[in-house]
Amino acid sequence: MPSVPGVAIWSWTALRPQVGCRLACWLSEAGDIIESMFDLAMVSVMLGRLLMYLSSYAPLFGLLAVRFTGPGLWVPCLVLAVAGAAAAGLLLLLDGRSSRGPHKLASVRDAGGEAAAYLASYLLPFLTVATPGWRDIAAYVGFLAVAAVISVRSPAAQVNPLLYLFGYRVLSVTDDQGLQAYLITRQVPLAGQRVLATRFRNEVLISRSAAARLDD
């Protein structure tokens, strides 16, 4: 009479192919369901905007880290500030590997005034107390949550104050094909000039070369 362990091993050996097949089928069905629920391209766009939002408020979190006294508050703010700066650098680095396309600019406008809209939110550190209560913290989190929703659902986060600290300028441009977008660049081109740029988002270009006037 076979032992109990021997029966168990034999049973598992016999059932393993069936279990493996059922597990593979279940994972395949789960993948199809997830793919049908989420547009992966849209998820990528939303994630990029969320990271840009985080980076746009990196200086604000840095100021809050200086303002707060309790380690339970200033340490997370410092971590968010560093993470936001790192997110901006990472996004720019990854975008640099994308293909570059020429854009002949029909109009160029400085978008710095739109970046100045962030200055209102940067008053937050001066309105906070060094040791806020839970109501104060809830209000701060609510404010940042509302700002995040607005930024993710609009191109507002592309006009990023941190980019100016990195030495970039943000311009509102229209090319000769009718594309209206923000152009992130270190050198300011003029209307009629051509730039090579990567397509960071549908509404955002990042210049990867000095502007050059077209001869045609």
Of 170, 161, 169, 164, residue with least CA distance to 60: 161
What phi and psi values does residue 150 have, to the nearest 5 degrees?
-65, -40
Taking the domains of the chain in order of start, what are their residue ranges? 1-37, 41-213
**pLDDT tens-place string over residues 196-211:** 898 877 678 888 875 4
In this predicted structure, the answer to whether residue 88 has a pLDDT above a threshold of 60 is yes
**pLDDT tens-place string over residues 175-199:** 988 888 888 888 888 888 889 898 8
**Residue 72: Cβ within 10 Å count:** 8
Of 163, 159, 211, 205, residue with least CA distance to 189: 211
Sign of CA dihedral 56, 61, 64, 65: negative
Q: How far apart are CA 197 and CA 202, in angstroms?
A: 12
Which residue shows structure tokens 């500030």? Answer: 81
Which residue shows structure tokens 């391209």? Answer: 41
